[in-house]
Amino acid sequence: MGKVAKQANIAVGTIYLYFKHKEDLLNQFYLKLYQVNVDRFLEHYSPNDSFREGLKLIWVNYLKHRINHYKDSHFLEQYYKSPYVNDNHKRLAEQVKKPLHDIIQKGKELGLVRSDLDNEMIFLGMLGFFRELADEYVGNCYIFNEDRINKAFEMSWNMIKA
């Protein structure tokens, strides 16, 4: 808390006027960060894009986002798996998936995405991939270029296409 106060140029005591606990602070911070990150995640997306284009946009968004904001992503994940999370957080997470689930659903309706797979599984298959890609990139110097990104997306696409 001391470091937070110093970083914010306020006194320690002041924090406690706005937050009951350290846990409370962390909690509110998580929620804020979550929202900011999700927004970035959907940046530039327009429901009018062609399905594949829209999907790729989000896919790339997420990959880039995770790379550029690795610490944020990492914190969010750790926090989500920590004993701090409550049902409120989980509900929020659920709600945030919705846009992506909607896109997937749309894909199914357009006959472009396999309809024998449930949306959650499709979602997870894509999410997991770029998470790993990003982590590998950040931690171990796996290098990206346009070509590789395209190939990776194509792999994801093959996973789910009808």
Partner DNA sequence: TATGAATGAGGCTTCATTCAT
Partner DNA sequence: TATGAATGAAGCCTCATTCAT
Where does this chain bind a copy of itself (CB under 8 A)?
A: 74, 78, 81, 90, 116-117, 120-121, 124-125, 127-133, 135-136, 139-140, 142, 148, 151-152, 155-156, 158-160
User: Which partner, a copy of itself, DNA, none, binds residue 142 by CB below 5 to 8 Å per kind?
Assistant: a copy of itself
DSSP 8-state class, residue 161: B
User: Which partner, DNA, a copy of itself, none, binds residue 74 by CB below 5 to 8 Å per kind?
Assistant: a copy of itself
Q: Is 44 exposed, middle or buried (0-12, 13-18, 19+ CB in 10 A)?
A: exposed
User: Which partner, a copy of itself, DNA, none, binds residue 11 by CB below 5 to 8 Å per kind?
Assistant: DNA
User: Which partner, DNA, a copy of itself, none, binds residue 76 by CB below 5 to 8 Å per kind?
Assistant: none
Which of the residues 1 through 60 are near DNA (CB under 7 A)?
A: 1-3, 9-14, 16-18, 21-23
| Least distance CB 14 / DNA (angstroms) | 4
Tokens encoding 79: 């926090």
The tokens 């989980």 sit on which residue? Answer: 90
User: Which partner, a copy of itself, DNA, none, binds residue 90 by CB below 5 to 8 Å per kind?
Assistant: a copy of itself
Among positive and negative, which fits the CA dihedral 64, 135, 102, 34? negative
Of 158, 162, 154, 153, the C-alpha closest to 62 is 153
In DSSP notation, 26-80 reads HHHHHHHHHHHHHHHHHTT--TTS-HHHHHHHHHHHHHHHHHHTHHHHHHHHHHH
| Least distance CB 6 / DNA (angstroms) | 9
Residues engaged in binding DNA (CB under 7 A): 1-3, 9-14, 16-18, 21-23
